Amino acid sequence: MLTPDVNLPIVARNRGVMNFKLIFKTLLIIALLALLVIMGMYNRQYVQFKMPHVRTQEQPAAIMYFSFFGIGFLSGTLLMAGGKKGGSGKSNKVQT
């Protein structure tokens, strides 16, 4: 009997449990986006965003939540990207 394990060794090698870290990150992002949608639905009033040396912004609270989430998500992604070094086969050790 032919099974995917026999026909495709790549499938047999990767048939383990899904990566828990990936599932956790996905569920966390979905929960954060759900909270963002709920905040956007119930916070329709205008709020003022004041900072020194910056023009005062007055926008709906939902747009500010969305922009803060987007900026935080992008900055977190940029900080977490490229953490592992790879690609070069040479080591920096001095051989004796």
Confidence of residue 86 (pLDDT cuts 50, 70, 90): low
| pLDDT at residue 64, rounded to an integer | 84
| Interacting residues of 66 by C-beta distance below 8 A, sequence separation 6+ | 36, 40
74 vs 18, which has greater pLDDT? 74
Query: What is the reported pLDDT for 88?
Result: 53
* Residue 26 counted as domain residue: yes
Within a domain: 23: yes
Determine the structural domain holding residue 72 and report its residue range.
Answer: 14-77
Task: Report if residue 82 sits inside a domain.
Answer: no
Q: Please count the structural domains in the chain.
A: 1
Residue 94 within a domain: no
- Is 35 part of a structural domain of the chain? yes
Judge residue 65's burial from the number of C-beta atoms within 10 Å of its C-beta, 0-12 exposed, 13-18 middle, 19 or more buried: middle
What are 2-43's pLDDT values in tens digits? 555 555 555 555 555 668 888 888 899 899 888 888 888 888
